[in-house]
Chains A and B, each alone.
Chain A
């Protein structure tokens, strides 16, 4: 592939390249077209060393923050300690020289001691004036190199072994032994020396054992057998006692795996191998700082003007899992420590999800609570409603009420349903709940129809009584009361009461009243029996006398025919007269429903007087009549009104029993006042005492020795039935006067 590319590049001539470059410059934005700034990064060790990978990551991050510089960082690896020696170095110098001749670096970054050493050694041959930024070089090493040329800058690394051990001792207060592990390689020996150097600064009383240059298997056995209350410190190693090569990270992993004591180390890259931690600088941070320093130089700053930190910060790094393993309380971890591999708590790892879940759960819980409350409220409402309905039902039952709603949205205009009404379905057309009200008694339909229409038109409350057919076929009386409700649709709301019992009671009362009236009439006629008998015997006597006279006449010759004819005519007339008496009597004896008809009160008075004439004669009462001419008609029941007049006449007659015959004057008068006809019966008796005036019309109140006391009570009830009244008073000239007022029949 590369060979192919080479062929292509050789094939393309320089002018073509230029043309292409120009074309590229024309089509790409100017910033992008800036000349690449070459940076050479030289690592001391191999490409796969974790420290290098970390460092490279830091560099890349930092350079990415300045895309305008278009930094092209090329990495080279010395691969120490695998490759060393003069020949190697010469070849490497030559390689770099050749490689970067076309693209000389503007800044060189060296990582770790060996790279810096290499660059300083070959500076004359390689990029002599190019500034060098060193990183991951210990301050001890820098001291040995000083003074450095002015354009060699960097931030030194400090291996803070003392702090790490002191931290370890705080976590393992019982520890009395520090075991330091290093390898057999040159780098390992440098570290052993460094650590032996440092051990002088460690706390007094801490036994320090060095396990150096051991074969891995032996080392592991030793570590397994470590006495209690030991702690281990290791930088890892490159070479063991058997000459096996390692990278320090892998070595540390083997050490930590075998060790029966907690292991600490100086490199951040060792975190994760099983060590507890330590104060260590981060290689990524070193990379970032190195890159930033390089950027500053690329921006044109002079190396002398750089303001770099004195040393790389070495914060405490801790492996969370190792804290757990060695029973170290997380609370004892200093707050500025960098904790690795901490199992994020659900909250830390899934904060948003947890928040969402909690929110969702809260919402759900809220919803559930709301629903529960709503349900409870509904149940309470429903219970209250049920209770209310139960109360309503009880009340309705107690009151014999039923409620109804009548849909009137399709009420035909008055009069347009004549056809329906005539066919007996007037209510089917009007009422939506025809099931109920189509059963209204035919005689009541027109009334109900009118009332409902009026209610719809006026919006006033209405009340109507009517009969409906019960399932058993009987007619039951109902009273409906309600009002119109026009929203949302025209309808009538109301309640209906079964009033059959009341109606029956009313009817019974009416029947009783009629019966009492009848009994009273019969009793009255009993009192008048002599008078009545007399009235009958008169025509009979006349008939008999005439007939016998005729018989006698027929014995003679010649028969006086004209006389005979006259006799026959008289007989017929008298027979009619007798029949009339019987008819009048029959009317008064009649028992039954009152029937109202237009009546002339004068006629009625005259008719009634005939009944009493004989009685008045025999009791020596002089009757005077003052009847008004042209009385308007009243609506009345002839029988009842005759009864009323008869009663008053008999009473007046009785009232005058103690008077001399000449004083016994009974006056019957009629008159008309506005809308009523007045009928008065006046006597010349002693009048009515004040105490009696109030009780006169009460039933069973009487002044007569053999009276029942019903007469006047009945008279008043008759007047009431006729929507009139009956009043008693004392006449100015003496005696009592009873006046019945009856409303005039409205003229049609």
Chain B
């Protein structure tokens, strides 16, 4: 990651402070920004929609509970992807949550790997959604900011060529291709090759 890249923020809502704290620690260790809220109401008042990331939401909350918050956010517009956490497996609620677009519905205590995978998936979904909402001018501006060699590599990738093939055609080392690719994905704000492919398509490369 580069310094200018904006790290996605994981918004955590749980009425149990100690649970919040532990989850935040784990997420930060894995490179996520975290924002902690002890109630749905707190989250709603402090939430900045422009910040990318995802929402980790406890189902059982005093006052506005998890599912209610999900509904509330949906009413406002496209929302952060939500990973639900619950103390007790509640099938009706999990079905309701998934139908309403939740990324995942996990039962506490959840293994770190499972939790992180769900958070990553949610963050990726958010990034993709945000890409979709960026305008073409911004995209072209980002494309223009690439070096010539980077644009060549991007074109090769967009054409579906392998790194090895691109290296052969450009007469450079395959490692150099990889280096350029990481750099240009960063500039294009694409976290995954899939996102990059999506952007290349938008730019009609």
User: Chain A residues in contact with chain B, CB under 8 A?
Assistant: 529-530, 533-546, 548-549, 551-553, 563, 567, 570, 573-574, 577, 614, 617-618, 620
Contacts and interface: CB of A to CB of B under 8 A. Distances in A.
A538 B87 contact: yes
Contacts of B107: 537
Given A541-B19, A620-B65, A535 B87 contact: yes
B23 A545 contact: yes
A548 B60 contact: no
B30 interface: yes
Given A534-B86, A553-B29, A570-B18, 6 more contacts: A541-B23, A543-B109, A545-B25, A545-B112, A570-B22, A573-B18
Contacts of B28: 549
A534 B22 contact: no
B85 interface: yes
Given A534-B60, A534-B87, A617-B62, A544 B16 contact: no
Contact of A567 (B15, B25, B86, B112): B25
Given A541-B85, A617-B15, A617-B62, A546 B108 contact: no
A544 B112 contact: yes
Interface in B96-116: 107-112, 115
B22 A544 contact: yes
Contacts of A552: 26, 29-30
B128 interface: no
A617 B60 contact: yes
B87 A533 contact: yes
Nearest to A529: B88
Contacts of A541: 19, 22-23, 85, 87, 108-110
A542 B22 CA distance: 5
B55 interface: no
B-side interface size class:
20 to 34
B65 A544 contact: no
11 contacts: A537-B88, A538-B18, A540-B109, A542-B22, A545-B25, A546-B21, A553-B29, A614-B60, A617-B61, A617-B62, A618-B65
B60 A537 contact: no
Contacts of A567: 25
Contacts of B110: 541, 544
A549 B88 contact: no
A614 to B, nearest CB: 6
Contacts of B16: 538, 542
**Interface core residue of B16, B30, B65, B85 (most chain A CB under 10 Å):** B16
Contacts of B87: 530, 533-538, 541, 614
Contact of A544 (B60, B86, B111): B111
Contacts of B26: 545-546, 548-549, 552
Contacts of B111: 544, 548
B18 A574 contact: yes
B14 to A, nearest CB: 8
Nearest to A536: B87
A656 to B, nearest CB: 16
Contacts of A577: 18
A542 B21 contact: yes
A129 to B, nearest CB: 176
B56 to A, nearest CB: 11
A544 B109 contact: yes
A538 B108 CA distance: 7
Contacts of B22: 541-546, 549, 570, 574
B4 to A, nearest CB: 23
A546 B15 contact: no
B88 A533 contact: yes
A311 to B, nearest CB: 161
A618 B60 contact: yes
A544 B111 CA distance: 7
**Interface core residue of A530, A537, A540, A573 (most chain B CB under 10 Å):** A537
B15 A537 contact: no
Nearest to A551: B112
Given A537-B108, A618-B60, A546 B25 contact: yes
B42 interface: no
A551 B112 CA distance: 11
A537 B109 contact: yes
Nearest to A545: B22
B19 A538 contact: yes
B90 interface: yes
Contacts of A539: 18
Contacts of B115: 545
A392 to B, nearest CB: 70
A254 B130 CA distance: 192
Contacts of B109: 537, 540-545
A533 B88 CA distance: 6
A534 B61 CA distance: 12
Interface in B15-60: 15-16, 18-19, 21-23, 25-26, 28-30, 60
- Top 7 A-B pairs ranked by shortest CB distance? A534-B87, A545-B22, A548-B112, A541-B108, A549-B25, A552-B29, A540-B109
Contacts of B61: 617
B25 to A, nearest CB: 4
A531 to B, nearest CB: 8
Contacts of B85: 541
B105 to A, nearest CB: 14
A484 B69 CA distance: 80
Contact of B88 (A530, A548, A551, A570): A530
A617 B58 CA distance: 12
Contacts of B65: 617-618, 620
Nearest to B25: A549
A543 B109 CA distance: 8
Nearest to B106: A541
A617 B19 CA distance: 17
B164 to A, nearest CB: 32
Contacts of B90: 530
B104 to A, nearest CB: 15
Interface in B72-97: 85-88, 90
A649 to B, nearest CB: 16
A618 B87 CA distance: 11
A548 to B, nearest CB: 4
A530 B90 CA distance: 9
Given A533-B87, A537-B88, A549 B15 contact: no
A574 to B, nearest CB: 6
**Interface core residue of A546, A551, A553 (most chain B CB under 10 Å):** A546
Contacts of A570: 18, 21-22
Nearest to A540: B109
A701 B113 CA distance: 51
Contacts of B21: 542, 546, 570
A675 B79 CA distance: 59
A224 B159 CA distance: 205
A687 B86 CA distance: 33
Nearest to B22: A545
B162 to A, nearest CB: 32
B80 to A, nearest CB: 20
**Interface core residue of A543, A548, A620 (most chain B CB under 10 Å):** A548
Nearest to B28: A549
Contacts of B60: 534, 614, 617-618
A372 to B, nearest CB: 98
Contacts of A618: 60, 65
A530 B18 CA distance: 20
B15 to A, nearest CB: 7
A536 B108 CA distance: 9
**Interface core residue of A545, A618, A620 (most chain B CB under 10 Å):** A545
A552 B24 CA distance: 13
Contacts of A545: 19, 22-23, 25-26, 109, 112, 115
A549 B61 CA distance: 25
A522 to B, nearest CB: 18
Nearest to A618: B60
Contacts of A573: 18
A565 to B, nearest CB: 13
Nearest to B108: A541
